[in-house]
């Protein structure tokens, strides 16, 4: 795996990212009171397969003995930060917010081409949502954009975290989850470097140069920064029960500025 991606890798990351952005937007359109997260998950798998890709999260193991992840999407509801399961019993209700996180290997199943990975997420309000949570989503979404703007050649990964942190601190009393972060992506779904959502000096050694591909994913809460993991071994939620916004894009560094591979059609 290379820190600097090849021209072929960039080509397929762009192609796969465009598809994945379209998939995520269609999944977001399904969000409504009474819909089960399981329905959304099934649709996600169907669309990825029909596009010639592979669901990156389905069956993913964290470590050799880790429990395989059971879904195509991470469906994280309200105080769930990331890695929430999509089940028939998890029904969306008016007032909820849901993070839909999805990754894909593309192309998949072709003897002549290997696959490359993209990763993206957004948090969607369900029905009528309290204004304070709508503001939380606005702040989280814009913090991602601030991180993307810092992705210029000559900066470092530390500058991305600094941009996210600076914006969030100015926006109000919000928590930046520090135990979770973005990451390199492309040859696999998770690679070095870590992409923190706050400034960390050690990340200055990771230069942003043309060909670097990272997934930036702010996780911003309406309360504190601490999190805990459920007994299922996957679902991470806020320790204080506060709600969390989560947005993510796969970003390619170029000499002319960042290219967001996973932009959704509505963001164009």
The mean pLDDT value of the chain amounts to: 97
Extended strands (E) in the chain: 54-55, 73-77, 80-82, 97-106, 116-125, 175-176, 182-184, 191-195, 213-216, 219-221, 227-229, 236-238, 244-246, 249-252, 259-260
Question: Per residue in 46-105, pLDDT tens?
Answer: 999 999 999 999 999 987 788 999 999 999 999 999 999 999 999 999 999 999 999 999
Mean pLDDT of 207-213: 98
Percentage of the chain surpassing pLDDT 90? 95
> Other CB atoms closer than 10 Å to residue 80's CB: what's the count?
24
Mean pLDDT of 254-264: 98
Mean pLDDT of 184-211: 97
Alpha-carbon separation of residue 119 from 57, 152, 187, 198 (angstroms): 10, 20, 12, 20
Helix, strand, or coil (residue 231):
coil
DSSP letter assigned to residue 181: -
Q: What is the pLDDT of residue 113?
A: 84
Could you give all domains of the chain from N- to C-terminal order, each with its CATH number? 7-263 (3.90.230.10)
User: Whose CA is closest to 10, among 209, 241, 226, 145?
Assistant: 209
Helix, strand, or coil (residue 153):
strand
Q: What is the pLDDT of residue 169?
A: 98
DSSP letter assigned to residue 165: H
Report whether pLDDT(1) > 60.
no
Mean pLDDT of 41-46: 98
Q: What is the pLDDT of residue 153?
A: 95
Report whether pLDDT(35) > 60.
yes
Q: What is the pLDDT of residue 2?
A: 73
Mean pLDDT of 181-210: 97
Question: Per residue in 112-161, pLDDT tens?
Answer: 889 999 999 999 999 999 999 999 999 999 999 999 999 999 999 999 99
């Amino acid at each position: 795996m290379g820190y600097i991606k090849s021209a072929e890798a960039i080509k397929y990351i762009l192609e796969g990212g465009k598809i994945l952005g379209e998939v995520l937007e269609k999944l977001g359109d399904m969000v409504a009171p009474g819909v089960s997260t399981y329905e959304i998950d099934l649709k996600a798998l169907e669309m990825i397969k029909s596009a010639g890709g592979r669901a990156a999260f389905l069956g993913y193991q964290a470590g050799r003995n880790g429990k395989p992840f059971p879904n195509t999407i991470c469906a994280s509801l309200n105080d769930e930060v990331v890695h929430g399961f999509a089940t028939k019993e998890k029904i969306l209700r008016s007032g909820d917010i849901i993070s839909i996180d999805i990754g894909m290997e593309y192309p998949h199943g072709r003897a002549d081409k290997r696959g490359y990975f993209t990763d993206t997420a957004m948090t969607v309000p369900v029905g009528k949502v309290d204004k304070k949570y709508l503001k939380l989503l606005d702040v989280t979404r814009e913090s991602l954009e601030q991180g993307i703007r810092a992705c210029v050649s000559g900066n470092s990964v530390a500058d991305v975290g600094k941009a996210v942190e600076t914006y969030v601190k100015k926006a109000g009393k919000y928590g930046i989850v520090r135990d979770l972060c973005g990451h390199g992506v492309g040859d696999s779904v998770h690679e070095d470097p870590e992409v923190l959502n706050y400034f960390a000096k050690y990340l200055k050694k990771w230069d942003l140069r043309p060909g670097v591909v990272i997934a930036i994913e702010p996780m911003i809460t309406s309360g504190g920064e601490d999190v805990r993991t459920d007994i299922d071994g996957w679902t991470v939620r806020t320790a204080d029960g506060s709600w969390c916004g989560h947005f993510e894009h796969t970003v390619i560094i170029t000499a002319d500025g960042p290219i967001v591979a996973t932009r959704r059609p509505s963001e164009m």
